[in-house]
């Protein structure tokens, strides 16, 4: 019988060597594929939206008082070359486009190049930079300026019935806001305005509000490079009561007439005013004139200015009032008075009346006037403080008739001589 054991062993050995050869070939192929995929073939990758940043910005601001007020682009697109492995993990957030401002010396428009700065996670040595879009950045370099602008305000709410919000009298704390930023941007600011909105307002109030910046056409402005010393403003808003108040005159009895003998008319009869509630609560009538009846036999219609108490405003717009006045129930006549005298002559002087008589108009109620005679009337000058010959004011007395009086004034010439 033939032994085939050796032949079979040799065949198994040949099969084993072939298997290892094929396995080695496969492994080598995989290694080649991995290496060529990750290291052997150069690829390109474009990163979009790479942020533009600056270096030397603080030094430029601190030493030259210059800032970047505007820039043509805030991001750029860059193309990088490298192996797939090196490029695969890089994103736009791993790179910055850095503009060096250290050579800037004056304000104006500049076109600046930039360099790429990589995150520490990027193997920069294996990366090659390609195209950049845009290749340069246009920058507006501006002089840094400071400007203080007064605060204004407006009220867009509604007052309660019978009240008015005095928007024009609002006060602000602070009264002005100071801004620091590019000069051309600050020059655009025309107003710093606080807008308040509150309904059914019936008392003065204080509120803290944000302000807005407005240009000369009342359009809102927003600046990234402008800084303010405060972000909010405290506003005190006065609120007034509205009231209809009567107009009148103050009559001073005299010359035989009292207010009971006078019919007065005034136009307008009332005006609408606004003011502090406590002030208006006590204000029931505004007198436009003090009229002494002793000065008038008849009264021609006369226009007087309407004088308001402090803090009160006329909403209805009137500034003057016309006053008419008529006397009734009185009678008057002329008397030639010779009973002329004086009192309180100064010590060390001799006094005498230079007038022989005075023609006086006497007025009294109709039932009284007929009883008055000239011997009831006397004219007395008071010489207190008089030391030289003078024309001295007098008082006219109608003795026995308290309701009668003189209309007008009747001074006497008094001669004074030192003793």
pLDDT of res. 61 = 87
**Is the Cα torsion angle 288, 292, 295, 296 positive or negative in sign?**
positive
**86-90, 226-230, 325-329, 392-396: least confidently modelled range:** 86-90
Q: Which of 16-30, 144-158, 210-224, 266-280 has the lowest mean pLDDT?
A: 16-30
Residues 6+ apart with CB under 8 A from 328: 261, 262, 263
Residue 7: per-residue pLDDT: 54
Three-state DSSP state, 187: coil
- pLDDT mean across residues, the chain: 90
Would you say how long the chain is, in residues? Answer: 419
CA pseudo-torsion sign 60, 61, 65, 71: positive
What per-residue confidence (pLDDT) applies to 1? 46
Residue 118 is encoded by which pair of tokens?
A: 């990589």
pLDDT of residue 243 exceeding 60: yes
- How high is the pLDDT of residue 6? 53
313 has a pLDDT exceeding 60 = yes
Q: Which residues contact 364 (CB under 8 A, 6 or more apart)?
A: 256, 330, 331, 332, 372, 398, 401, 403, 404, 405
pLDDT digits (tens, 9 = 90+) for 249-266: 999 999 999 999 999 999
Q: Where are the alpha helices (DSSP H) in 36-138?
A: 57-64, 84-88
Q: CA–CA separation, 80 vs 99, rounded Å? A: 19
Whether 31 has a pLDDT exceeding 60, the answer reads no
pLDDT at 389: 94
Using the predicted structure, report yes or no on whether residue 32 has a pLDDT greater than 70.
no
Average pLDDT over residues 204-222: 93
In 36-159, where does DSSP find H-type helix?
Answer: 57-64, 84-88
What is the rounded end-to-end Cα distance, in angstroms, of the chain?
195
* Predicted local distance difference test score (pLDDT) of residue 128: 92
Element (H, E) at 32: helix 5-35
> In the predicted model, what is the mean pLDDT of residues 23-40?
57
**What integer is the mean pLDDT of 379-399?**
96
pLDDT at residue 23 in the model: 72
The 10s digit of each residue's pLDDT in 52-66 is 999 999 999 889 989
Residue 8 has pLDDT above 60, yes or no: no
Q: Is the pLDDT of residue 279 over 90?
A: no
Please tell me the predicted confidence (pLDDT) of residue 38.
47
- pLDDT(299) > 60: yes
The one-character DSSP state at 27 is H
Signed CA dihedral, 143, 144, 148, 152: sign only: positive
**Sequence-distant contacts of 201-204: CB under 8 A, at least 24 apart:** 201/157, 201/158, 201/159, 201/160, 201/163, 201/165, 201/237, 201/239, 202/159, 202/160, 202/163, 202/239, 203/239, 204/236, 204/237, 204/238, 204/239
What is the arrangement of strands in the sheet containing 349-353, beginning at the earlier edge strand? 349-353, 412-418, 390-392
Q: Please give the residue that has the higher pLDDT: either 383 or 184.
A: 383
Domains of the chain (ranges, CATH numbers): 42-135 (2.170.120.30), 144-237 (2.170.120.40), 241-328 (2.170.120.40), 331-418 (2.170.120.30)
pLDDT tens column, 110-150: 999 999 999 988 888 888 999 999 999 999 998 888 999 99
Tell me what pLDDT residue 168 has.
Answer: 84
């Amino acid at each position: 019988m033939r032994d085939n054991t050796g032949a079979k062993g040799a065949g198994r050995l040949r099969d084993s060597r072939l298997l290892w050869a094929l396995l080695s070939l496969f492994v080598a192929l995989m290694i080649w594929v991995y290496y060529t995929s990750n290291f052997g073939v150069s690829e390109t990758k474009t990163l979009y939206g790479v942020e533009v940043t600056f270096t030397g910005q603080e030094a430029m601001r601190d030493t030259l008082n210059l800032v970047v007020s505007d820039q043509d682009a805030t991001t750029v697109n860059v193309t990088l070359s490298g192996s797939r492995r090196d490029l695969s993990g890089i994103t736009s957030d791993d790179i910055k486009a850095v503009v060096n401002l250290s050579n800037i010396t004056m304000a104006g428009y500049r076109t600046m190049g930039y360099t790429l700065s990589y995150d520490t996670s990027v193997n920069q040595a294996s990366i090659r930079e390609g195209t950049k879009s845009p290749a340069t950045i246009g920058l507006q370099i501006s002089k840094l300026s400071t400007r203080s602008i007064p605060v204004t305000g407006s009220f867009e709410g509604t007052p309660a019935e019978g009240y008015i919000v005095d928007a024009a009298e609002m006060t602000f704390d602070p009264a002005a806001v100071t801004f620091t930023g590019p000069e051309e941007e600050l020059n655009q600011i025309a107003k710093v305005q606080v807008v308040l909105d509150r309904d059914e307002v019936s008392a003065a109030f204080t509120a803290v509000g944000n302000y807005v910046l407005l240009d000369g056409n009342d359009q809102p402005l927003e600046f990234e490079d402008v800084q303010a010393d405060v972000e909010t403003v405290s506003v005190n808003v006065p609120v007034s009561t509205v009231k209809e108040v009567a107009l009148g005159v103050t009559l001073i009895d005299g010359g035989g007439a009292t207010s009971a003998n006078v019919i007065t008319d005034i136009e307008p009869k009332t005006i609408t005013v606004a003011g502090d509630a406590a002030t208006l609560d006590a204000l029931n009538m505004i007198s436009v004139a003090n009229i002494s009846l002793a000065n008038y036999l008849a009264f021609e219609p006369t226009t007087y200015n309407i004088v308001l108490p402090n803090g009160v405003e006329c909403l209805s717009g009137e500034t003057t009032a016309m006053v008419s006045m008529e006397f009734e129930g009185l009678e008057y006549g002329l008397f030639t008075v010779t009973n002329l005298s004086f009192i309180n002559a100064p010590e060390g002087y001799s006094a005498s009346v230079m007038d022989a008589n005075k023609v006086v108009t006497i007025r009294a109620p109709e039932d009284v006037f007929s009883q008055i005679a000239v011997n009831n009337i006397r004219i007395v000058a008071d010489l207190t403080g008089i030391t030289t010959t003078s024309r001295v004011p007098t008082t006219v007395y109608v003795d026995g008739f308290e309701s009668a009086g003189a209309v007008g004034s009747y001074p006497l010439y008094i001669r004074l001589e030192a003793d």
